[in-house]
Amino acid sequence: MNGKHITKLGFENKAIGLALSAANVREGAGAGRNEILAELKAVKGHPQAYAVGGVYAELAAHLLAENAKNAVKKGVALHESPLPYRVWGEDLIEPGARAQMDVAMRLPISRDGALMPDAHVGYGLPIGGVLATENAVIPYGVGVDIGCSMMLSVLPIKATDLSVDEAKSLLLKHTRFGAGVAFEKRERDDHAVLHEQTWKSQPILGHLYDKAAAQIGTSGSGNHFVEFGTLTLHQPDVGLEAGEYLAILSHSGSRGFGAQVAGHFTGVAHKRHPNLDKAAQKLAWLPLEEEDGAAYWEAMNLAGRYALANHDLIHARLARALKITPLAQARNSHNLAWKQLVNGQELIVHRKGATPAGAGQLGLIPGSMADPGYLVRGRGNPDALASASHGAGRQLGRKAAANTLNRKDVQAYLKQHGVTLIGGGIDEAPQAYKRIQDVIARQSDLVDVIAEFRPRVVRMDTGSEDV
């Protein structure tokens, strides 16, 4: 056993001497070289397990101290307690989501945050979490479906003039659902976003271009939907008279393109912070002034524009089939990060399942497949970093929903609310969501409700278990 074997394992400076003397002790006790090297490797991997006592205790203690020092040096130590942040609808939020937000507010890059009333546990940052950081972006603070968004088209047709059968056949013919789905080559629509030079700015975007071009205008799976419904406008607004309108509401994201961008940069961020406190591992960030951070920012924003383009084409296709031009439209992203002034300082505001709600800004907050959704106008509340909930929020996880609910429950709920469903799954049952009326009531200081949308004919992907 000599220093060469030790340094090969990655020990440095004082650790080399400590490892060597521990190795000598083990050799003296009759241990073989490979055995000792394996032990040293284990000590390096998990020093905390060896620091309590034994021949490797001194080495382990030294490694722990070095790790801690490096963690501080790299700025990866978490603050002991979270920065203060406000919570809307605390009575509706499970403790796990609060705990995740607490961890996020302990990051050294965090400056401000808020939790929306639809909050529930997610990967890293909770869904319904709003997090403002300084000069850094967290891929898992945006989420896997980058640019996931909502769009509403108000149509120049009376709600009663489109039959359920017509609505069904339009949705079946002109929308596409499911993981991996793309439009048939002859059916593809073009969009300005596909002609951006951004696709050529980094290899990953170039590699994903064909997939993006094939999938644009499609709807994916999970909680994504396209639906016809009745919009009730309480007072004249958005250029329309008060009254009832037929409308299309869609929820969709950046499909496979965004998912792969998210996966790639999550890995990059993870590698950038190998020593990040375990509680915050999924909140690994990328400094915006570094190449990787700038690349993510560029790709994220492209995925955001792509997701909105996706909605554009979904609505355009249906409008074309109906031979009409929408009277009014509204849209918003709810999984994205923005540069925003917070108390006079430019910060990176992540909204992961949160609707931008700047003063006067329109937003869409859907309920469930059978519950109303709302067209809202933001109040620009600074305590919420000008945000609102992005929906009702889950009350039951997907597995819990499948275990607790059955198709009869869902069918009865649909019937009671006069909703016809194409596709759908038990994990998307209305009963798996919080009551949207409660969630809206908890954020009256964040948004004003302009109009209520009641779904009538809804298309979703076929879920894990039919309803």
Piece of 74-82, 215-223, 313-321, 362-370 that binds DNA (CB under 7 A): 215-223
Q: Give the count of residues interacting with DNA (CB under 7 A).
A: 21
Measured from the CB atom, the residue of 229 and 391 that comes closer to DNA is 391
For the bound state, the minimum distance from the C-beta of residue 360 to DNA, rounded and expressed in Å, comes to 29
What's the rounded Cα separation, in Å, for the pair 415 and 437? 19
Q: Supply angle C-alpha 145, 337, 268, rounded to 5.
A: 65
Measured from the CB atom, the residue of 82 and 220 that comes closer to DNA is 220
Measured from the CB atom, the residue of 326 and 423 that comes closer to DNA is 423
What's the rounded Cα separation, in Å, for the pair 296 and 313? 25
For the bound state, the minimum distance from the C-beta of residue 215 to DNA, rounded and expressed in Å, comes to 7
- Among residues 179, 242, 279, 321, the one that binds DNA under rule CB under 7 A: 179
**Residue 290: other Cβ atoms inside 10 A:** 13
Q: What is the DSSP string of 66-89?
A: HHHHHHHHTT-PPPSSPPP-EESS
As a whole number of angstroms, the longest Cα–Cα distance in the chain is 91
Instruction: Confirm or reject binding of residue 388 to DNA (CB under 7 A).
Output: no
Q: Using CB under 7 A as the criterion, what x/- string covers residues 240-259 for binding DNA? A: -------------x-xx--x
Two structure tokens written together for 267: 């890995």
**Residue 336: other Cβ atoms inside 10 A:** 25
The two counts, helices (H) then strands (E), for the chain are 14, 17
Q: Supply angle C-alpha 291, 295, 297, rounded to 5.
A: 120
One-letter identity of residue 363: G
What's the rounded Cα separation, in Å, for the pair 39 and 42? 5
- Among residues 180, 243, 274, 418, the one that binds DNA under rule CB under 7 A: 180
- Among residues 62, 224, 282, 317, the one that binds DNA under rule CB under 7 A: 224
| Contacting DNA within 135-174 (CB under 7 A) | 144-145, 148
For the bound state, the minimum distance from the C-beta of residue 93 to DNA, rounded and expressed in Å, comes to 18
What's the rounded Cα separation, in Å, for the pair 348 and 332? 18
- Among residues 16, 31, 99, 181, the one that binds DNA under rule CB under 7 A: 181
For the bound state, the minimum distance from the C-beta of residue 45 to DNA, rounded and expressed in Å, comes to 20
For the bound state, the minimum distance from the C-beta of residue 223 to DNA, rounded and expressed in Å, comes to 3
- Among residues 139, 220, 378, 425, the one that binds DNA under rule CB under 7 A: 220
| Contacting DNA within 183-212 (CB under 7 A) | 211
List residues near DNA by CB under 7 A.
144-145, 148, 178-181, 211, 215, 220-224, 253, 255-256, 259, 262-263, 461
